[in-house]
Structure 1
Amino acid sequence: MENNFEQLITTLQTSSSYNDKLCEIRYILEKQNSELLSSFISQFYQSILILEHWTWQLFSQNFHQWIEKPNYLELFSTLALFNKNLIFNYEDIEANTKCSLLFPETIDCINAIFEKFEKTNDENDPFISIVSLWYDNLYNFLHVYPEFEMSTIIIHINHYMARNYIMTDQYKFYLNQLRQSPLSQSIFTTKQLFYIKTCSFFVSQYLFAKAPDFPYTPEELMHHFGVDYIQIILLHTYTIESWSTQLLSCITRLTALFSACCWWGGEKGSQIKIVFPTELATCEYIDALIRIIDYKLFYQSITIQRSNDPTILLDIILFRILNIAQNGDFLWYLRSKISLSDTLFTIAKISPCDRMRLCIYVIFGEILYDESLKDLKIFNSASSLFFNILEEAWQHPSKKFHQVPILLILKCLLNLSKTDAFQQQIADTNKLSFLIEICNQYPLVYDILWALSFNHDIQEQLRLNISFITKLIYLPKESDNKIRKIAYRILWNLEINHEDRTILIIDNKKKFEIMISYSHKDKIFCTQLYNELINIDYHL
C-alpha cells in the first residue's frame, strides 16, 4: 500500500473529490505509527510535505466544509500522532527535515486559523481540539529542538497567543473556574483547554528561552495569572487522587507557565513578591509541590521523553524545587522536609528520564550535607549521567540539553564536585580531559577543576597533563583576574603533596599564605571568613 502513497497524495492536489482516498492515507500512516520506519520518511518526504502543508491550508480555509466529516477527523488524529512520533521517535531524521514538515508555510496561514478560532461561538467546536493538536506538536518540537525557538513564525505565534488569549479577561474567567471546588467536568470545554492548556504551554516554552521583545514583563504576567495559579495549586493538591485527565493537563500547563515566568524574571525578581508576599506563602507553595511529587501513581507514567502530563509535571516541579534550593532563601525549609530526600531518591531510581534525574541529583547536592550524600550511594550513576548530558549539550548547536543550558549544567556540576564521593567517580572515569577541553569557552570549569583538585587521584591526573599545567602557570596578563586566582589555587593543590612542601610562587611574586579546607555544610561561614581575610590582604 505504501507504494501507492505518492499517488494518493497527488490526488489531494489535483482532485476536488478525494474523500475515499483519505481512508487509504490514514491506513498508511497508522501502519507507520506502529512500525516507526525512518525509511518511510526518507522515501516519501516530498509527499509527506505536501500532506502537511495541505492540512495547514485546510485549517486556514472554511473548516465547515470538512469538520463534520469522519474521514477528515480520523485522518487528522492519525496525522497528529504521526507528527508526535516524528518528533520523539525518529532520532536519525535531521531536525531541519522535521521542521520543514511540521511548520506552516506562512504567517498568513497562522493568522487565518486564529481568525477562524475567534469567530466560533461553540465552546466545544471540534475545530479547536484538532488545531490544538498541531500547536501541541509545535511545542513538543521546540522543546526537543530549542534552536528553532526564534524562528519568525514561532515568535509570531507566541506574541499572538500572549496578547489575544493569555492576557485577556476570558483567560481570567477560565482561571476562576479552576479555583472552585468541587470542579464540574463541564468547565473543561475545548475552548477552555485551548486557552489554559495549549496557549499557556506554548508561551511557557518561549519564556524559558528568555526570548527578547516579548510584549509583556514577568511582573505583568504574574499580576495577571500568578495569584490565581497559586490558589489553584494550593487547593487541588490536597485531592490529587481525584484529578481528572483535563485537570491534570491544566495544572501541568499552568505550572509550566508559572515556572517560566519565575525563570525568565529570576528567582529573586520582583515578580516573585507578587505571588509570595510572605515567607509563609512560599512555604505553603513548597508544600504543594512536595504533595505532587509524593503522589506515587504519577511515577508509573514517567517516560524517557516529556511526552505525557505526569512526566511533564514532575519534571517542571523538580526544576522549580531546584531553583528554590539554588536561590538559597528557602533552603532551610527544604532541608526541614525529612521525607523529601526519600521521595526524590525513589523517583531517581525508577525514572527513565535523564533530565528528571539530573534535577534530582543537583537538588541532593543543594539540600544534603556531605555525610548524607555519601549514604545515598548515587554517585556511580550521577557522574556518568552528568557527563553524558554535558557532552550532549556541548555538541548540540544550542548548547543545551533538553532546554537546560550548558551553563546551568556546569553550575550543578560545580556543586556536586565539592563532595568526596563524586570527585572519586570523576577520577575513576577519566573525565578531566573533557573539562579541560571546554574551560576556555566556559570559565566556570576552572572552578570545577579547583574543587576536583582536592582529590589525590585527580591531582595525579592533572600533573600528567603538562599542557594544562603550563597553561595555568603562564596565563596571559590580560586573563580575567578571577581565573588567575583559581589557577593559583589549582596549582597550590597540586603542590601540597610534594615532598619538599614548597610554596608555589607565581610570576607576580605573591605567595599563598592560607588555604581553607571546609565541609559543604560550613560553606556560608567559610565564605564570610574568606572575604574577611581577603579584605586584610591575605593571599588565599
Structure 2
Amino acid sequence: SFIMCEINHLSYTADEIIQYLSDDYLEIIHIHSYTVASWSKDLLRCITQLIGVTAGCCWWNGEEKTHMEIIFRTEKIAFDHVEDLMRIISYEPIYKQIKKDRSNDETILVGCILTMFMLIVRMKNMHLLSHLNATIRNTILSIIETVNNDELALCGYGVLSEVLTDEELKDLKMADNICNYFLQMLEDAWNLTKKKYKQIPMVLLLKDKRNTKQRETLI
C-alpha cells in the first residue's frame, strides 16, 4: 500500500526495487504457498507486505510492462507463480477473514493477489492458464459470494473477465452494488487531477467496464 501511495517520493525506481526483490520474492512465495495453514500472524503480515510491494512496483505508471518482464522472464515462471498464489488465496480461512475495508492483513493479501493475477494475465496473455480456469473461477466466485467488500469483488470480476471464455462468462452476473461501486470509483477518479483512483489510471477502469459490458451483451 505504501508503494502505491508514495511512488513519487521513493529514492529508487520500480526497476531497481524489482531487480533486487524478484528472485527472492518468487522463491519465498513458492515455499510458503505450501504451508498456508501453519502461517503465524507475523508471517502472514510479511507475505502480505512482500506481495503488496511487488504488485505496487509492477503497477507503477499504470500499464507499463517492463517491471513485470523483470520478474516473469518466461511464461512458465509467470504460470508457476499463479499456481503459488492460487494455493494461498484458495485457503478458505484467509478469505473468511476479509473485512469491508482494508483493516486487516487477510483483506490486503487477497486484494494484492487479485491485482497480481490481473497484471500477469494482461502482460502474458496467457492461454496456458486455460486448465486453471475452473479453479480460478470457483475460488474467486467463492470470495465474491463470501465477502462484504465491493472493492475486492470488483477486482475478482475483473480477473474473471480476463481469464474465462465468453461461454463461461455468460453465467456470471454482476450485482447492482458492484456496478454502483465501480461508478463511484470512476467519479472519484474523474474529480482528481491525475485522473486516477488509488493509483489506477482511469483508462484501465474504463477498459475493465468495457470488458464486462461486452460479456454482458452475450447473455
Contact (CA 8 Å) 1:302, 1:351: kept in 2 or not? yes
Unaligned runs of 5+ residues in structure 1 are: 1-200, 425-540
1:355 positional shift: 1.4
Counterpart position of 1:124 = none
DSSP 3-state at the match of 2:207: helix
Contact (CA 8 Å) 1:267, 1:324: kept in 2 or not? no
Match for residue 202 of structure 2 among 402, 406, 411: 406
Match for residue 285 of structure 1 among 59, 76, 81: 81
Match for residue 357 of structure 1 among 134, 149, 153: 153
CA–CA distance in structure 2, aligned partners of residues 247 and 386 of structure 1: 33
CA–CA distance in structure 2, aligned partners of residues 375 and 381 of structure 1: 18
1:347 positional shift: 0.7
Counterpart position of 2:126 = 331
Counterpart position of 1:224 = 20
- May I ask how many residue pairs the two structures share in their alignment? 217
CA–CA distance in structure 2, aligned partners of residues 226 and 263 of structure 1: 15
Say what the alpha-carbon RMSD is for the aligned residues.
Answer: 2.5
CA–CA distance in structure 2, aligned partners of residues 326 and 278 of structure 1: 14
Counterpart position of 1:268 = 65
Residue 96 (structure 2) pairs with residue 300 (structure 1): yes
Counterpart position of 1:394 = 190
What are the within-5 Å matches in structure 2 for residues 406-445 of structure 1? 406-421=202-217
Deviations 1:413-463 (A, max 9, x none): 1111212448x9xxxxxxxxxxxxxxxxxxxxxxxxxxxxxxxxxxxxxxx
Residue 183 (structure 2) pairs with residue 367 (structure 1): no
Change (3 A) 1:400 1:355: farther
CA–CA distance in structure 1, aligned partners of residues 166 and 180 of structure 2: 19
Q: For the pair shown, which has the larger CA radius of gyration, 1 or 2?
A: 1
CA–CA distance in structure 1, aligned partners of residues 128 and 178 of structure 2: 25
CA–CA distance in structure 1, aligned partners of residues 17 and 198 of structure 2: 25
Contact (CA 8 Å) 1:234, 1:285: kept in 2 or not? yes
Runs of 4+ in 1 over 6 A off after TM superposition: none
Letter in 2 for 1:254: L
Change (3 A) 1:421 1:385: farther
Contact (CA 8 Å) 1:361, 1:382: kept in 2 or not? no
CA–CA distance in structure 2, aligned partners of residues 368 and 379 of structure 1: 18
Letter in 2 for 1:219: D
Counterpart position of 2:173 = 377
Change (3 A) 1:380 1:355: closer
CA–CA distance in structure 1, aligned partners of residues 164 and 23 of structure 2: 31
Letter in 2 for 1:277: R
Counterpart position of 1:314 = 110
Change (3 A) 1:401 1:378: same
Task: Provide the identity percentage.
Answer: 35
Change (3 A) 1:351 1:421: farther
CA–CA distance in structure 1, aligned partners of residues 117 and 137 of structure 2: 12
Change (3 A) 1:354 1:410: same
Contact (CA 8 Å) 2:96, 2:147: kept in 1 or not? no
CA–CA distance in structure 1, aligned partners of residues 43 and 50 of structure 2: 10
What are the within-5 Å matches in structure 2 for residues 510-525 of structure 1? none
Whose relative contact order is higher, 1 or 2, with alpha carbons under 8 Å and at least 6 apart? Answer: 2
CA–CA distance in structure 1, aligned partners of residues 199 and 115 of structure 2: 11
Change (3 A) 1:374 1:380: farther
What are the within-5 Å matches in structure 2 for residues 161-310 of structure 1? 202-207=2-7, 211=8, 214-264=10-60, 266=63, 268-269=65-66, 271-310=67-106
Unaligned runs of 5+ residues in structure 2 are: none
Change (3 A) 1:236 1:267: farther
Contact (CA 8 Å) 2:111, 2:152: kept in 1 or not? yes
Change (3 A) 1:401 1:320: same
Change (3 A) 1:392 1:373: same
CA–CA distance in structure 1, aligned partners of residues 128 and 180 of structure 2: 30
Deviations 1:6-51 (A, max 9, x none): xxxxxxxxxxxxxxxxxxxxxxxxxxxxxxxxxxxxxxxxxxxxxx
Deviations 1:65-107 (A, max 9, x none): xxxxxxxxxxxxxxxxxxxxxxxxxxxxxxxxxxxxxxxxxxx
Letter in 1 for 2:5: Q
CA–CA distance in structure 1, aligned partners of residues 68 and 216 of structure 2: 35
Letter in 2 for 1:347: I
Contact (CA 8 Å) 1:298, 1:310: kept in 2 or not? yes
Contact (CA 8 Å) 1:259, 1:316: kept in 2 or not? yes
Deviations 1:155-207 (A, max 9, x none): xxxxxxxxxxxxxxxxxxxxxxxxxxxxxxxxxxxxxxxxxxxxxx5345323
Contact (CA 8 Å) 1:227, 1:275: kept in 2 or not? yes
Contact (CA 8 Å) 1:252, 1:313: kept in 2 or not? yes
CA–CA distance in structure 1, aligned partners of residues 193 and 100 of structure 2: 22
